[in-house]
């Protein structure tokens, strides 16, 4: 094969890869943070977005739904020397990514 054909195929593959990385789809209930050259640029809301593949970087998506964190139960001694078991559950939601 001639070298020009190999270079053309590699160039086409490179261009297709860059086009595929340009379009980002953010699912519902999530948000994306865009950094341009390491500095905060924007928050991507759910939907279709276009980013510059080499300059912009989309960080891992942030879940905006309510989340539950449960902690193991603990025994506590009260003022009148009774042992009580306490179960703790924390609900949290990210409102501003």
- What is the DSSP track for 65-86? S-EEEEEEEEEEE-TTS-EEEE
List, for residues 11-59, the tens digit of each pLDDT value: 999 999 999 889 999 999 999 999 999 999 999 999 999 999 889 999 9
What does pTM read for this prediction?
Answer: 0.69
List, for residues 57-96, the tens digit of each pLDDT value: 999 999 999 999 999 999 999 989 999 999 999 999 999 9
Judge whether 8 lies within some domain: no
Question: What is the total count of domains within the chain?
Answer: 1
> Tokens 């789809």 label which residue?
25
Q: Which domain holds residue 75?
A: 22-92
Judge whether 16 lies within some domain: no
Please state, in angstroms and rounded to a whole number, the distance separating the CA atoms of residues 94 and 10.
Answer: 43
């Amino acid at each position: 094969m001639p070298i020009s054909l190999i270079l053309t195929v590699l160039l086409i593959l490179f261009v297709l890869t860059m086009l595929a990385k340009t379009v980002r789809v953010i699912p519902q209930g999530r948000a994306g943070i865009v950094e341009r050259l390491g500095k905060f640029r924007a928050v991507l809301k759910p939907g279709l977005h276009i980013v510059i593949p080499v300059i912009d970087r989309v960080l891992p998506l942030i879940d905006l739904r309510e989340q539950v964190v449960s902690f193991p139960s603990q025994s506590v001694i009260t003022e009148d020397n009774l042992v009580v078991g306490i179960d703790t559950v924390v609900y949290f939601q990210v409102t501003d990514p």
